[in-house]
Each structure stands twice: as structure tokens, then as C-alpha cells.
Amino acid sequence: MQALPLLGGLAVLLAHRVREAKRACREMDALIDEYRQLFNTPVERLHALRDALVEQLEAGLANKPGGLLALPSYVDVLPSGHERGHCFAVDLGGTNLRVAHVQLGEERGATEATHIREWPIPDEHLDTDKGTLLTYVAQRTAEVVQEHAGGGGAKPVVGFCFSFPVEQTAVDNGRVVVWTKNFRGTYLVGEDVVGALRRELAAAGVDAEVPAIMNDTVATLVALRYGEPDTQLGIILGAGTNCAYVERADAIGKLPAGFQGRTPTMVVNSEWGDFRSPLLPSCEEDLWIDCSSAHPGSGLFEKQISGLYLGEVARRILLRLAVKGELFGGAVPGLLDRHFKLTTADMAAIDEDDSAGLLGVAEVLDRALQIGGTSLQQRQMVREVCQLVCLRSARLCAAAIAGILQRAGHPCGGASASGGAASAPAPHVVVAVDGSVFAKYSKYRERLRAALEDVCGKAAADSIELRLAQDGSASSSRRLSPAAAAAAAAPPASSVKSCAGLAPEKLLGFTVLNMTKQGALVGVVDDVLAVAETGEAQPLLHVRAPADPALPEEAPREEHLIPFVPQIVPSYDPTAGLVFVQPPSGLLDLGRQQLLLAHLQRDLEPYTSPPPLSLLSRMGLRVMPSAKQLEEAGRPDLVTAVKQAGGFLEVASYLGLRSQRKPAGFWEDDSNLDEELTLFVAAHWTRFQDPESRQSYWYNQITHRITWEEPILPERVDLDDEGSYMLTEAEDDRVMPSKSAVKAAGRYDLHHAIVQRGGYTATGQQLGRRSAWPPSQHLGSLPTLRQELRAFLKETGLRPNRMPTASQLVDAGRGDLLQAIVQRGGFVATARMLGWATQRRGRSAWQDPQAVATELRQFILEKQFPELAGRQPGRRRQAPQVLQQWAAQRGVQQQRSQQQQELQQQEQRQQEADVPALPPEARLPTHAELARAGRHDLRYAMQRHGSCMVAALLGIECRRSGAHNRGLSAAAEGSSEAAAAAAPACAEEAD
Ligand code: BGC
């Protein structure tokens, strides 16, 4: 009885728990939905944020309240890359200290960080008020300097890359504005950090020069800009976040009055981490993170974006889901409620786990937060939270990049509020990005790119290249090297002078800056071409662009010739080694085009092969691929590059590639027309086979030249490395084709070009080409051909009313007769028209089995018993030789014809003489043997009569077996048809 109330109570409890669980579930759904909407920040809101950021940046530049710090870096020139010797680079980042020994090479830009040491900054130094931070930095630096500084008494040079806001008054001087990230205190705030480092170094036993200090974003920008002139922004996405960019100096209102830079631009450190806006997609967790941070109330943008905080945001959201949505069944498991227990690296690992069971997520939860035994559903939720936190960061970062680009004049930022692409094609811009979040979190990079497309529109976003300025810790040297080089090169003060009256040679080795493009680096003066050399009215500066460290040293570089005249080269700075130029529009594009062409020469190579076995391929010529071919090969980039370099015709002509279409003026150039004629002639070689001897010969329909050897085609001979070449050509082939031949080939372009030049005869004379032997008109009529052939047979002593063979005609130099025969459809066809026999026996010739046996006997003798054969394999050459002799003597043909006739008759007699009997071991040739020897006539004949019958006539054994004896029985019955049908099998048996 007492059990009843107990059961009732349990039921109530159970129902309550079910209700609670359902409530929690609803709560979790509602919560996660909120994050989904907030963090997948709508594009309109991103545009508003972008515009707000630009406003705050501009306010900062003008020193107005409410602006970003927008700190001038005093970096107004880039390192020339010609610095020599070595220096040290100190990089005090958010979590690590790195010191590198940088070697500045002989070659321009050849900097190499030869030794890099790296230490995590011990927590004790994060409280800067202890005053130990720079002592620590100086001691570690001293270790490296003492290890690597060479003797000679010169002071070691140290460049300082500093990841905190510094208000500079010069490139080598700056007061700390505030410590950020996890660094606290007021140490050095308002004091010169460079002077402090010098003092600390001295205390550590190193008397060093510290000629420059740079924010890490500035160093990143400078480092990439060093080899990539399109670099406009330097961004850090690491523990902290920030962006530096190239600004017009006259727009930096906070520069001291009367400041005169060496160039019209200066790199500005925006300090965007402190951007603030009520529109930021903030959540409760941001508030908690801010409150418990080293700097509550500041760096709010950075706290939603950078690596120091992302993992913590995700952890806090998961905690909220655990408490309010009972993500982990009502409890707060493991270390989920401990600050900073989930790092951004953990978060990235969770986000990037694409496995079906999310075992990677389980592993991270277990290791980092000691949460084990999670269900797949829980892990999916954990992963989604991490993805959303990453998404918010990436979208905010994209909006900020768009804002800075807008400030720098890129159409990305200027896209309409709807996010549509700007109408004009956006110029290529490179954004140098450094920091662990960008470098190590691939899904972050993907989301950032996608967000850029959302914010800027696809076309504008495509013109923005986000380039990692480093990869992993070792290559931080890449950032440090140029930073250090810049530091080492920092000139003391501006000393700009006019170039008037200056000897241009004085500028050798100087760095050239383009004043019309905000001081963009053009290159270094590496030669001066004097008036006498160039024939120009003024000397020319030869300027070579810097090498791209990412490319092999021999990779082509832009080169420019800049006229040394005051309008174009007005001033220079001898102290800084700078020349300032104002090139007229288009002048520097030429160099760019040359560079593009040089790159294209290499990149197009795989697509320039003509079809295999084609004439062009045999001649070693290359062809210009079409846009369609390149696109189909997956290289639309090359189509764009070709267009930029002047188009397909221009590129083809520069690279010496044959293109279908010819550029304007092509035909006016003698060498082009001559080459086309050479190719035209070469394309008209045709291979024939002498029906009697089965030997191949080649006949050229243009020159009417005939040769027994395969003709040597014109060959391409390269004249230089820049694509100039010439074609070799046999003197015999330097022929001017006839009008009818050119037109018959459908080459109206060629025909037109020849007519334009005054006709075929005139063109032939101009180009030194003799007229082709005009196709013998008189042989066009059958009676004339008959008459000519008769005369030929008579002259050569050949049998009358029987077609001569091709070889006889060729050897006698009567290509005209051969041509006429070929034009009439060949020997058999012509013979039929003339009512003559051919030498080649037609099918009818083999009706007589005895004739077959005679021919086969000869074949067997030649192949199996050459020593017995009356005529050796060389026989077929004898007659032509005789004829050749005769032809050579044609001048005395009449006197010699008697002798010739005798020779011919002798030959004929020999042919008809009885061949010796076959030895007993002789065997019937197989069909394969006959086919190999080209004796299809004999194959046919054997089929016709049956191999065994022929064997019987020859007195040799017909080896056969089983089912294959039908041939013989059929033959015995007199059915030659059946025998013919069975013969191949029988003959095969004999093989
Ligand atoms: C600092 C910046 C720095 C950025 C990246 C921020 O906290 O204020 O100066 O560039 O972190 O390291």
C-alpha cells in the first residue's frame, strides 16, 4: 500500500525530468540558432562595419578623437636589397621571441636568415611593470650576437620587429603607446623603446646599433613588397591582429608639420585591433573575455578575431550550452569551466575534423578539456560552435580588409552596399598575411576568402591575393630578413637633390622609385647606355626589377630603359641611394610586357607542339596555341597573360611561334613571306612507291623534284634566346611556286601577298627563288603524253607500248612524265587510257599458273638461295643506275642511245632467261613472307591457284595438314576458286 505513493512520486519526478530535458533541448536549439545568426554576420552589416572602420582610420590619420591609432611608421622607402654584410633581427611577438642572424648577400635581395633562435616568452615577463621584459630580450639577443658577430670592430646592427603599438618620430625611434595582448603594465609607455633596447643590450655586453623599429605588420608588408610590388597590405592574424598599408604621406595629418619624406608615401600601422563599433556581432562571451583580459575595454575587435581569444570564445559558448542547454547531460564536464583550456589550435583541430565519427573532435575534447565518452551528436555540436567562432572572425577580418583597401583606392572597398562588383576590372593587389591563425588554420583561410567574395563581390575579390608571408617558424626569417635589411639600410635623413648636371653613371646601383605610383619600387639602375651606344638623344638608365625570392634566381625580371632627362628623372637622394622618376604613361609597361613575354615563353612551351608527325613537328617548328586550347588545358591564366602581353599574334611573333592568323604587316616582311614559301614547298612532298621495285620515292609537286632518299625538310635554327630563328632550306627547293599550285592549295593569303608584291615572277626574283618547272602543259593531252612516252621508251630502249616504271622515269630525270601519269590517276589508269600494258602485272597476268610458278621460283631463289639467284637483291637498283647514267648523258643521248639500248636489251634478256631449277630443300614462301616482301601480286596468284598446285608445278613439297588440305583436293577437282579460298591456310601451314 505504501508503494503506491512512492511510485506516484517517482512518476512525477520522471515527468519533471522529461519536461526539463525537453526544455533544455529547446534552449540549446534557440541558443545555437542565435550564434548562427550573429556569427554568420550578414553582408549589409559587414559593409557598415567596413565603412565605420574606414571612418575611424581616417580620423586616426587626422589625429581626431575616436580614431584608430593609425601610426606612421616612417618607412617611406623600401630596402634596396643592395645592403651588404650581416645584421640581427629581433622579433618580439605576442607569444614568442625570435632572434635571427641575417646575412645580406652579394646579389640584390639575397638575404638569408642563417640562424634563428626562438623562445616562448616566459609568463613572468608579461607583467611589464617588473621591468624585466627588455632585459630578457636583450640577453637572448646578446647570446645570438656574441655567437655570430664577426670581428673587425664594427658595431652589430639590430633591426627590431615589435608587435605592439609604438608612436614613432623616426624609423629608429618610438614610444610605446600601450601594451596589448597578454602584456600588462605601463613599462616604457611614453618612452623610447629603441633607446631602452640599446641600453639593455649594452648591459648584456653588446654595443649595437638599432637603426630601425617596425611593427610586425609593417615588417610583413615590407618583406613581401620587397619582391612583390603589388603588395599593399601587411596583416597579422596570430595571437593579435593588425594591418599596415601604404598611405599617401600628405593624407597622414598627424605627421609633424613641415615633415618631408623621401617619397610621397609612407607605411601606416592602423592598429585595427582597437576598432570599435556597436555593430560588431558581440555576444555575452565577448563581454566575459574582455572583463577578464589584461586590457578590459580595449582591443574589442582583436578579441573577436585573433588567436589569443578564438579558442576561449568557443569554450565559453560550449560552457553556456552545457549549463543552459545541457549539452553534456546537465553537468559541466571536465575542464570546460577553466579559462583558456581550449586553445585556438584545439579549436582548429576540431573544426578541421572531417571524419565520419568525429573521432578527432573526441580526441581534442578528451585531451584539452578532459571530456570523454561524448556522443556523435555532442561532438557535432562542439564542432559547429568552433566553426561559427571561426566564421565570425573571418567575416569581420574580410570587412576590415575591404575597408583598408577602400582607403588604398582599391575598388573592393568601393563596392556598392549590395556587395556587387565594381564595374572596372580591379587591379591585382597582394595582401601579405602572417600569423599562426592564417598560416595553420586552413578552414580559416577558406572562410576568409569566401567572406571577401561576399563583401567585395566575386570579381573584385578575385583581384585580391592573400599571400602567406611565412610558413612555419623557420621561415619567419623571410619576414625578418627584409625587415632587418630595411633596418640596416635606414638612411639618416632626407637629402634629395636635383639630377640636373649629374653624370648618370653616378646613379649606378641606386634604387628607382616611381613618383607617379606613390613611390612604387621600379628596380635598381644596373647600367647606363650612353648616347653613342643607343643613338638616342639622351643616355638611358637600364633598370632591373628586384628578384622575386620565391622564384629561381635565373627567373626573368622586368627591365626598363628610362631616358635620363630632367622631366623623367628629376631628383635623387645620394644618402639613401634613391632615384625618383616620373615616367610618362606606358614607358614602364614595356618592361612589364617584356617580362610577361619571358614568362610566357616558359609557360606556353608545353602547349606549342604541332600535331605529332606533322610537317611542322618534323621541322621542329612550334605553334601558338589558341585561347580555346589553353582554356581546355585548364590554363585560362595563360589566356589572360597572353592578352596582357599584347595578344595572340604579338606573342606568337615575339616567341617565334607559328600562328594561324598573321599579324598586320606580316606579309610585307620578306623573311616572313620567304618562310611561308619554304613551308609551302616542304608541305608538297609526297611519298610514292614504285609499283615494280616497291621502293619508295618522294616527289615534290611544287619543285617537281624527285628523290629516292627521304627529303631533308627545312630545319629551324635558333639565332638567339629570344625566339629569333631561321629555316634551313635545300638550294634545290628554293622555288617560287606557280600561281595555280598556290591557289589549288587554297592559300589565298599567300597568293594575295604575292600579287601585292607585283606577282609571282617579281616575288620570285625579290626572294631569290627560281620559278618552278611549270607543269608540262603539253603533257596535259593524252596524245602528247603517248607521243612523249613512246619517244622515251624508244630512247631508252625499253619495250614499246608498255608503261615504263616510275623508277625508270625518275632515274631518267623525267619527273614531268611521271607527274603527268600521276595526275591521270597512276600507271594502271594511264596504261588503260593508252591501251598499253603495264610492267606491273595486273590480276589477269596471273591467270596462267605456269607464269605464277616462274615468278615464284625467282622469288624463292632470291630469298632462300641468293647465291643461286641469277639476280641478287641489288638487281632492282641496276636498271635505274643504267638509266641514271643515261640521263646524265642526255646531252649526247643520240650517240649513246645505241649503247644504252644494248644495255637495256641485255637486262631484258636476263630477266626473261630461264631461272635455275629449285634445290630440293626449297619451300613455298608463306603469305607472311610474301606480304613482308611487298609481293601482294604473288599472294594473290597463290590464292588464285592454290599453294599446293603451285608447289607441284615448282616441284617442291606442299606441306599441309588436316583440315587445310581442302586446297589440294579442290585443286585436284579443278576448282581453282576453292583452291584460292583455301590457299592462305595451306600456305600458313608451310610457315
Ligand atoms: C598589437 C599590434 C600588433 C598585433 C599583431 C596587436 O595586439 O597592438 O601592434 O601588430 O597585435 O601582433
929-972 tens-digit pLDDT: 877 776 777 777 777 778 888 888 888 877 643 333 333 333 33
Which position has the grid cell 601519269? 821
Query: What's the gap in Å between 922 CA and the centre of ligand 1?
Result: 98
Long-range contact set of residues 859-865: C-beta below 8 Å, sequence gap at least 24: 859/925, 859/930, 859/933, 859/935, 859/938, 860/918, 860/922, 860/923, 860/924, 860/925, 860/954, 860/956, 861/915, 861/916, 861/918, 863/925, 863/929, 863/933, 864/922, 864/923, 865/918, 865/919, 865/922
Query: What's the gap in Å between 939 CA and the centre of ligand 1?
Result: 91
Give the number of the atom of ligand 1 that is nearest the alpha carbon of residue 165: 9
**Residue among 163, 233, 243, 270 to mutate when testing ligand 1 (max atoms within 8 A of CB):** 163
Residue 658 CA to residue 666 CA, distance in Å, equals: 12
Residue 695 CB: number of other CB atoms within 10 A? Answer: 18
Give the number of the atom of ligand 1 that is nearest the alpha carbon of residue 93: 12
Query: What's the gap in Å between 242 CA and the centre of ligand 1?
Result: 5
Q: Which of 24-38, 154-168, 721-735, 911-925 has the lowest mean pLDDT?
A: 911-925
pLDDT, tens digit (0-9, with 9 covering 90-100), for 511-528: 888 877 766 778 889 888
Query: What's the gap in Å between 72 CA and the centre of ligand 1?
Result: 15
Query: What's the gap in Å between 160 CA and the centre of ligand 1?
Result: 14
Give the residue, 569 or 904, on which the prediction is more confident. Answer: 569
Give the number of the atom of ligand 1 that is nearest the alpha carbon of residue 236: 5
**Residue among 161, 236, 300, 304 to mutate when testing ligand 1 (max atoms within 8 A of CB):** 236
Which pLDDT value is given to residue 54? 96
Q: Is the pLDDT of residue 473 over 50?
A: no
Query: What's the gap in Å between 812 CA and the centre of ligand 1?
Result: 92
Which pLDDT value is given to residue 12? 73
Query: What's the gap in Å between 432 CA and the centre of ligand 1?
Result: 15
Q: Is 275 exposed, middle or buried (0-12, 13-18, 19+ CB in 10 A)?
A: buried
Q: Which of 52-66, 268-282, 302-316, 458-472 has the lowest mean pLDDT?
A: 458-472
Beta-bridged to residue 12, according to DSSP, are none
Give the residue, 144 or 724, on which the prediction is more confident. Answer: 144
Which pLDDT value is given to residue 430? 92
Give the number of the atom of ligand 1 that is nearest the alpha carbon of residue 217: 10
**Residue among 271, 298, 404, 437 to mutate when testing ligand 1 (max atoms within 8 A of CB):** 271
Nearest CA to ligand 1 atom 8: 164
Q: Is the pLDDT of residue 368 over 70?
A: yes
Question: Across residues 185-214, what is the average pLDDT?
Answer: 93
Contact 664, 754 (CB under 8 A): no
**33-47, 556-570, 717-731, 924-938, range with greatest mean pLDDT:** 33-47
Q: Which amino acid is at 267?
A: V
Candidates 1.10.10.10, 3.40.50.12780, 3.30.420.10, 3.30.420.40; CATH matching 74-214: 3.30.420.40
Give the residue, 769 or 106, on which the prediction is more confident. Answer: 769
Confidence of residue 60 (pLDDT cuts 50, 70, 90): very high
Residue 904 CA to residue 898 CA, distance in Å, equals: 10
Give the number of the atom of ligand 1 that is nearest the alpha carbon of residue 240: 11
Q: Which amino acid is at 249?
A: A
Which helix (H) or strand (E) segment holds residue 25: the answer is: helix 3-39
The domain defined by 491-587 folds into SH3 type barrels. (2.30.30)
- Rounded percentage of the chain residues whose pLDDT exceeds 90: 34
- As a residue count, the chain comes to 991
Rg (CA), the chain: 45
Give the number of the atom of ligand 1 that is nearest the alpha carbon of residue 164: 9
Give the residue, 279 or 726, on which the prediction is more confident. Answer: 279
Spatial neighbors of 581 by CB under 8 A, at least 6 apart, are 512, 513, 514, 515, 522, 562, 568, 569, 570
Nearest CA to ligand 1 atom 9: 164
**Residue among 215, 270, 272, 305 to mutate when testing ligand 1 (max atoms within 8 A of CB):** 215
Query: What's the gap in Å between 472 CA and the centre of ligand 1?
Result: 19
Which pLDDT value is given to residue 489? 47
**Residue among 95, 235, 241, 268 to mutate when testing ligand 1 (max atoms within 8 A of CB):** 241
What does the block give as the cell for 532?
Answer: 653613342
What does the block give as the cell for 123?
Answer: 609568463
pLDDT, tens digit (0-9, with 9 covering 90-100), for 378-400: 999 999 999 999 999 999 999 99
Which pLDDT value is given to residue 492? 41
For 711, phi then psi, to 5°, come to: -65, 145
Give the residue, 588 or 455, on which the prediction is more confident. Answer: 455
Q: In what order do the strands lie in the sheet with 157-162?
A: 111-120, 96-104, 85-92, 157-162, 209-215
Residue 457 CA to residue 584 CA, distance in Å, equals: 33
Residue 143 CA to residue 194 CA, distance in Å, equals: 19
Give the residue, 31 or 577, on which the prediction is more confident. Answer: 31
Give the residue, 253 or 211, on which the prediction is more confident. Answer: 253
C-alpha distances in Å from residue 583, one per residue of 247, 260, 298, 502, 520: 21, 22, 46, 18, 12
Give the number of the atom of ligand 1 that is nearest the alpha carbon of residue 166: 9
Q: Is the pLDDT of residue 233 over 70?
A: yes
Question: Across residues 710-718, what is the average pLDDT?
Answer: 81
Q: Where are the alpha helices (DSSP H) in 577-635?
A: 587-604, 615-618, 627-632
Query: What's the gap in Å between 203 CA and the centre of ligand 1?
Result: 28
pLDDT, tens digit (0-9, with 9 covering 90-100), for 653-684: 788 788 777 777 788 888 889 988 998 898 88
Query: What's the gap in Å between 37 CA and the centre of ligand 1?
Result: 29
Query: What's the gap in Å between 339 CA and the centre of ligand 1?
Result: 22
Nearest CA to ligand 1 atom 1: 164
Query: What's the gap in Å between 80 CA and the centre of ligand 1?
Result: 27
Which pLDDT value is given to residue 980? 33
- Rounded percentage of the chain residues whose pLDDT exceeds 70: 80
Confidence of residue 470 (pLDDT cuts 50, 70, 90): low
Give the residue, 42 or 796, on which the prediction is more confident. Answer: 42
**Residue among 128, 216, 303 to mutate when testing ligand 1 (max atoms within 8 A of CB):** 216
For 896, phi then psi, to 5°, come to: -90, -15
Which pLDDT value is given to residue 865? 81
Question: Across residues 155-171, what is the average pLDDT?
Answer: 91
**238-247, 404-413, 472-481, range with greatest mean pLDDT:** 238-247
Query: What's the gap in Å between 69 CA and the centre of ligand 1?
Result: 12
Q: Is the pLDDT of residue 403 over 50?
A: yes
pLDDT, tens digit (0-9, with 9 covering 90-100), for 315-337: 999 999 999 989 998 889 999 99
Nearest CA to ligand 1 atom 6: 240
Give the number of the atom of ligand 1 that is nearest the alpha carbon of residue 178: 8
Nearest CA to ligand 1 atom 11: 240
Confidence of residue 843 (pLDDT cuts 50, 70, 90): low
How many CA within 13 A on the CB side of residue 726?
6
**Residue among 242, 245, 276 to mutate when testing ligand 1 (max atoms within 8 A of CB):** 242
What does the block give as the cell for 587?
Answer: 614607358
Q: Is the pLDDT of residue 490 over 90?
A: no
Confidence of residue 910 (pLDDT cuts 50, 70, 90): very low
Confidence of residue 198 (pLDDT cuts 50, 70, 90): very high
Give the number of the atom of ligand 1 that is nearest the alpha carbon of residue 299: 7
Give the number of the atom of ligand 1 that is nearest the alpha carbon of residue 216: 10
C-alpha distances in Å from residue 318, one per residue of 21, 290, 689: 17, 18, 86
Which three-class secondary structure state does DSSP give residue 89? strand
Domain boundaries, the chain: 74-214, 491-587, 603-771, 782-802+811-834, 849-989
Q: Is the pLDDT of residue 716 over 80?
A: no
**310-314, 835-839, 922-926, range with greatest mean pLDDT:** 310-314
Question: Across residues 907-931, what is the average pLDDT?
Answer: 67
Ligand 1 binding pocket (C-beta < 6 A) is 94, 163-165, 180-181, 215-217, 236, 238, 240-242, 271, 273, 302
pLDDT, tens digit (0-9, with 9 covering 90-100), for 68-127: 999 999 988 765 555 556 778 899 988 999 888 877 655 544 555 567 889 999 999 999
**338-342, 459-463, 811-815, range with greatest mean pLDDT:** 338-342
Contact 633, 667 (CB under 8 A): no
Which pLDDT value is given to residue 111? 53
DSSP per position, 820-888: HHHHTT-HHHHHHHHT-B-SS--GGGGSSHHHHHHHHHHHHHHHH-TTT-SS-TTHHHHHHHHHHHHHH
Confidence of residue 770 (pLDDT cuts 50, 70, 90): confident
Question: Across residues 890-894, what is the average pLDDT?
Answer: 35
Query: What's the gap in Å between 271 CA and the centre of ligand 1?
Result: 7
Contact 215, 153 (CB under 8 A): no
Confidence of residue 720 (pLDDT cuts 50, 70, 90): low
Query: What's the gap in Å between 462 CA and the centre of ligand 1?
Result: 27
Q: Which amino acid is at 234?
A: G
Query: What's the gap in Å between 142 CA and the centre of ligand 1?
Result: 25
Which three-class secondary structure state does DSSP give residue 403? helix
**68-82, 168-182, 630-644, 882-896, range with greatest mean pLDDT:** 168-182
Which pLDDT value is given to residue 109? 46
Query: What's the gap in Å between 270 CA and the centre of ligand 1?
Result: 10
Residue 174 CA to residue 134 CA, distance in Å, equals: 15
Query: What's the gap in Å between 165 CA and the centre of ligand 1?
Result: 7
Nearest CA to ligand 1 atom 3: 163
Q: pLDDT averaged over the chain?
A: 80
Give the residue, 412 or 127, on which the prediction is more confident. Answer: 127
Q: Is the pLDDT of residue 412 over 90?
A: no
Q: Which of 128-142, 258-272, 919-933 has the lowest mean pLDDT?
A: 919-933
Give the number of the atom of ligand 1 that is nearest the alpha carbon of residue 162: 9
pLDDT, tens digit (0-9, with 9 covering 90-100), for 434-452: 999 999 999 999 999 999 9
